[in-house]
Structure 1
Amino acid sequence: MSTVSSGPLAAAPAGSFRGRVEDDARRWLGIRYAQAPVGDLRWRAPRPAADTTEEVAATAFGAACPQPPSPLPLGDGIAQDEDCLFLNVWTPDAEARTPRPVMVWLHGGAYVFGAASQRTYDGARLAVAGDVVVVTLNYRLGAFGFLGLDAALPGAGFDGNLGLRDVLLALTWVQRNIAAFGGDPDQVTVFGESAGAGLVTTLLATPSASGLLHRAIAESSPASSVYGPERAGRVATRFLSSLGIDSDAPDAADALRALDSATLAEASHELFAGVPEEDPGTLAFSPVIDGDLVPEAPITVISEGRALAIPLLIGTNKDEASLFAYMKSPLIPVTGERIERMFADMAAESPEVALPDRAQVLAAYEHLRHRALGLGIAGDIGFRLPTLWLAEGHSAVAPVHLYRFDYSTPFLRLVRLGATHGSELVYVWGNLDGGPKDLTFRLGGRRTGEELSRRMQERWSAFAHGGDPGWPEYSSDSRATLVIDRHDRVVDDLDADLRRAWGDEVLSFR
């Protein structure tokens, strides 16, 4: 049973924060890093929270950004509010002789769901096992954080890429304040999964991120799902139309600002579901290539070896798409018809791109049948191929370590999910006891899972300490890949068949 003692005090430039000790870790929760993005600050770039001279009680998570209902709870008693820009800090409950490396987490959720308060992301076990400082944070989601209103309503006073700007401001807060928590601001590793990993890879191609992070970990990054301003403007115009607002009307901006957050969240949900149904393989919300904060497509910048030259640990899971099929999610086109539509759309929109030969692609999946064929292609299009392109390009300018997560418990195999999207998270965080709703270990596998978690935490934290997670670097010669399973192994050119089928040219699945 957890024990809670009187809390430690961190005296930082931003203020003095009183935390608490639990599970052998010090924790400071709900620290405001930005002013509330409400009123005149809605859809504007975040502004730093004011410093305070009063002691701040940092013992409870802040609110999560408004979002659609999710099968993953946001945490006990967590409210939803536009005033959501908070971060949390965990450290081992022991003084360190030297400042500890810092690991800053960006949660996933298709840029629409999630919060730092989710139970999986409790940082105590990772902080203690890895002897690191763990930071988790909220950023604005959906229409509040990733809607291209600046493109749909130019001159109306709206800013773009707000969720990404939130992350940059939080990293600036870390640089200024983390030493007060025992962290080393010169050793910051940003890590994330799914949309959070998409933000990580976008940061690598964001010039203003230079100096704010020194290493990066991307777990299942949808790196190719970053779109241009024209597309962002079309999606935003559709959003306005769903609310009965004419984007050409002179009062459009005022009408939008007058709406309450619940109405905006509901419209955000409808857009999230509707866009990928009509445009397979795309997301309604994502970072935008705006020519300013994000000058070019991140996947282009990184694959051409022009990103921030910092060490990168990157990988995917073996059965990424199975979760989307299980949940009947429109985000990834797992049926043959929708995959064919995606290819047709890509050919029409980018006629100058030489698409891989259809028969050649299908030959790489000839060992799969029916449902598994679509799942294999969908998972590779959405995650594995972009990851390989990034690894290949970035390895020319910085160390890269590539992995594939293959482990699956008996229960996940029984329900045909396998090593699905997000299944590595409990092992990275060490939080295998998800409560009665967590069925992962219902049919066994917990002992193996605990050992696997120990190895993953050791590897991830070793990367944060010195950039070496304990397996060979990826290079265009060997293409070394760590396969994480019941027993880990290193395989050279694990994805050779995949590369032969699709070719080495970076494709845009738009």
Structure 2
Amino acid sequence: MVTVEHGQVQGLPAADPRITSFKGIPFAAPPVGENRWRAPQPMSSWNGILNAFDYAPISMQAQTVIDDNNIYTREWAVDPDLPMNEDCLYLNVWTPAKRTDEKLPVFVWYFGGGLQVGNTAEMEFDGERIARRGIVVVTINYRLNAFGFLCHPEISNESPHAPANFGHLDQQAGTQWVQRNIAAFGGDPDQITIGGQSAGGGSVLSQMTSPQNKGLFQRAVIMSGIATELYPKVHVPAVRTTLQEAEQKGVEFFRFLGVSSLHEARQLDADYLRDKALEYRSFWGTVIDGQFCAGDPFTRFVQHERESIPVMLGHTSSEFWTRPAAATMEELKQMAVELFGEDAPVFLELCETGNGELEHALQQASVRMIQHAILLAIRANSNSGHPSESPLYYYNFDAEIPGWDQPGTFHSVDLWFFFETLAKCWRPFTGKHYDLARQMCNYLSNFIATGDPNGSDSTGKPMPHWVPCSTEQPYLMEFGDQAQLQQVEPGPVLAFLIEQYFKQQNAPVV
């Protein structure tokens, strides 16, 4: 049992009784009624002992429909009956500490799901294996979709200092709660690493580049969560929406709901609001509000308008490939002229357009959008004057993944390995997979503890040395059948696109 700022909390032994888990600890007032579409509000203390034995209800979102043709419900969204409630601001803690003065490093995790779905109860996020390595693990729930990211002029007028990004503010409030309370679980409030994957990784990017978070965390992990535009008409997560644009979208949504005021919208039943938002079929995401989000997070990251801290970042080998949206060779050539101007012939030559085959040219132009973004960030970091303060440890996950569906290294599969939760998965993993997962979890845990992923394996043998990636040392850690340091080889088209990015950034404004 531990004592936190609002009362006493009782946990339970995890599967490993040396680890204690606490599930469903509230960190803010329920975001219901007048607190709907408001920044997380202070909560009240509770009487007696809070039994933190089970996960709290998940955020309002599309209900899970079990479908064997959907790899994500096949993989981990396996329970269609998880309790769901608008009252969802809770977190979970796994700690190996036996005393409050142990000052163990802390890992704070934001789950993914496109900011539309997801929860902390997904089985791959069990924090026990990381905790066994001397880390206090915290997973934070937050509001999603229209509940977490809707904007409206009335909301802005009511709360000009927090008019948007309520889901990100939930993450922030949960992390602030950790900073204030984690010592009670044996954690060190001055050694916090935030991490996330997919939209959770994008959330880490948003938290890192928010001017509100100075000193809140000391390290960051961004898994498959960093992207920037490459080709026109190619989808990129919407993180450049302005507050004014988002407010207008909120006005239109209120009209769709049949309400004429914020007060009326707050009185709507949560299930009804969820279902109408799904019917509306819109994406609700990060908004440049001038408060929490001062600008496009990726641009701020590249321009070093961020916390100058160590970062571990990477992707799987098969995710986020993109190519031009051109239906004819003429469209491809016109796109090249519009994007690259006088350098368009170089791009077209690299795409081998001379043979006249469009499909071949588009294939040559195909690159990993996420690798493009990471290499931009690495080059910018190398030129920032702060590379030693903020090393970037780059990885690529390229392991063979077993199963009848032959899935390849699909988006999110590396989570089983970083959390070392393979035993919870249905896939017929073998010894080599468990060895790789042990190493990947070791690297992650070492990084959380020190800002440097290197160290010895549990066998006592030093793991392959992982150097920060820079223009002088362009290396990444390849997680294949085993961990192996490799040189980054972007390929000629990707290298051209990176040069074009910086050329255009440095071009004089006309």
> TM-score band (shorter)?
0.7 to 0.9
Letter in 2 for 1:466: T
How far apart, in 1, do the equivalents of 2:166 and 2:417 lie?
A: 30
1:267: how far off?
3.1
Q: Any gaps of 5 or more consecutive residues in structure 2?
A: 65-72, 229-236, 455-465, 506-510
Describe how 1:131-210 pairs up with structure 2 within 5 A: 131-150=134-153, 154-155=156-157, 159-210=163-214
Deviation at 1:80, TM superposition (A): 0.7
Question: Contact conserved, 1:202 with 1:223, CA < 8 A, in 2?
Answer: no
Of 377, 380, 384, 2:368 maps to: 380
Instruction: Give the counterpart letter for 2:136 in structure 1.
Output: V
AA in 2 matched with 1:111: L
Paired residues of 1:92 and 1:131 also in contact (CA < 8 A): yes
Q: Is the 8 Å Cα contact of residues 75 and 117 (structure 1) preserved in structure 2?
A: no
Q: 1:228 aligns with which of 241, 245, 253?
A: 241
Q: Give TM-score, length-normalised by structure 2.
A: 0.81
- The residue type equivalent to 1:452 in the other structure is L
The CA deviation string for residues 233-256 of structure 1, in whole angstroms up to 9 with x for no partner, is 3443443343245xxxxx332332
Shift of 1:429: 1.0
Q: Using a 3 Å threshold, how does the CA distance of structure 1 residues 294 and 372 change in structure 2: closer, same or farther?
A: same
Q: Partners in 2 of 1:255 and 1:21 — Cα distance?
A: 45
Question: Which 10-residue stretch deviates more, 402-411 or 196-205?
Answer: 402-411
- Quote the Cα distance in structure 2 between the aligned partners of 1:199 and 1:482: 23
Match of 2:221 in 1: 217
CA distance in 1, matches of 2:33, 2:258: 21
Native 8 Å contact 1:102 1:132 kept in 2: yes
Alignment deviations for residues 203-256 of structure 1 (CA, whole Å, 9 cap, x no partner) = 1111111111100000001444312324423443443343245xxxxx332332
**1:243 equivalent in alignment to 2:257:** yes
Alignment of 1:348-427 (within 5 A): 359=348, 362=351, 377=366, 380-381=368-369, 383-395=370-382, 396=384, 397=386, 398-411=390-403, 415=405, 417-427=407-417
3-state SS of 1:402 partner: strand
**One-letter identity of the residue aligned with 1:121:** F
- Displacement, 1:121? 0.8
Query: Deviations for 1:151-195, whole angstroms, at most 9, x for unmatched residues?
Result: x86535583110111111111100110000011111100010000
Q: CA deviation at 1:431?
A: 1.2
Partner of 1:478: 473
Q: 1:353 to 1:124 in 2, by over 3 A?
A: farther
Contact 2:192 2:217 in 1 (8 A): yes
1:492 aligns with 2:487: yes
Aligned-residue CA RMSD in angstroms?
Answer: 3.6
Using a 3 Å threshold, how does the CA distance of structure 1 residues 163 and 410 change in structure 2: closer, same or farther? Answer: same
Query: Offset of 1:263 from its aligned partner?
Result: 2.3
Q: Aligned pair in 2 of structure 1 residues 115, 333: CA closer, same or farther (>3 Å)?
A: farther
1:85 pairs, out of 73, 81, 89, with 89
Percent of aligned pairs sharing the same letter: 28
CA contact (8 A) 2:152 2:247 kept: yes
Relative to structure 1, the CA distance from residue 11 to residue 110 in structure 2 (aligned partners, 3 Å threshold; closer, same or farther) is same
Q: Which residue of 2 aligns with 1:3?
A: none
TM-score by length of 1: 0.81
> C-alpha distance in 2, partners of 1:333/1:92?
47
- Which secondary structure state, in structure 2, belongs to the residue aligned with residue 131 of structure 1? coil
Q: Is the 8 A contact 1:320 1:421 kept in 2?
A: yes
Question: Does the 8 Å CA contact 1:74/1:117 hold for their aligned counterparts?
Answer: no
Cα pair 1:61 1:78 within 8 Å, conserved: no
Aligned to 1:64: 58
Q: What is the total number of aligned residue pairs between the two structures?
A: 460
Cα distance in 1 between the residues matched to 2:241 and 2:343: 21
Give distance in 1, aligned partners of 2:341 and 2:204.
29
Which of 449, 454, 465 is equivalent to 2:449?
465
Larger radius of gyration: 2
- Partner residue, 1:307: 306
Q: Is the 8 A contact 1:190 1:200 kept in 2?
A: yes
Closer, same or farther: CA 373–91 of 1 in aligned 2, 3 Å:
farther
Whole-angstrom CA distance in 2 between matches of 1:85 and 1:500: 43
Which residue number in structure 1 is paired with residue 457 of structure 2? none
User: 1:288 deviation in Å?
Assistant: 1.1
Between the aligned partners of 2:481 and 2:227, the Cα distance in structure 1 is 28
For structure 1, list consecutive stretches of 5 or more residues without a partner in the other structure. Answer: 1-8, 246-250, 276-283, 323-331
Q: What letter matches 2:11 in structure 1?
A: G
Question: 2:70 aligns to what?
Answer: none
Cα shift at 1:498: 5.0
Alpha-carbon distance between aligned partners in 1 of 2:417 and 2:180, rounded to the nearest angstrom = 30
Aligned-partner residue type, residue 123 of structure 1: G
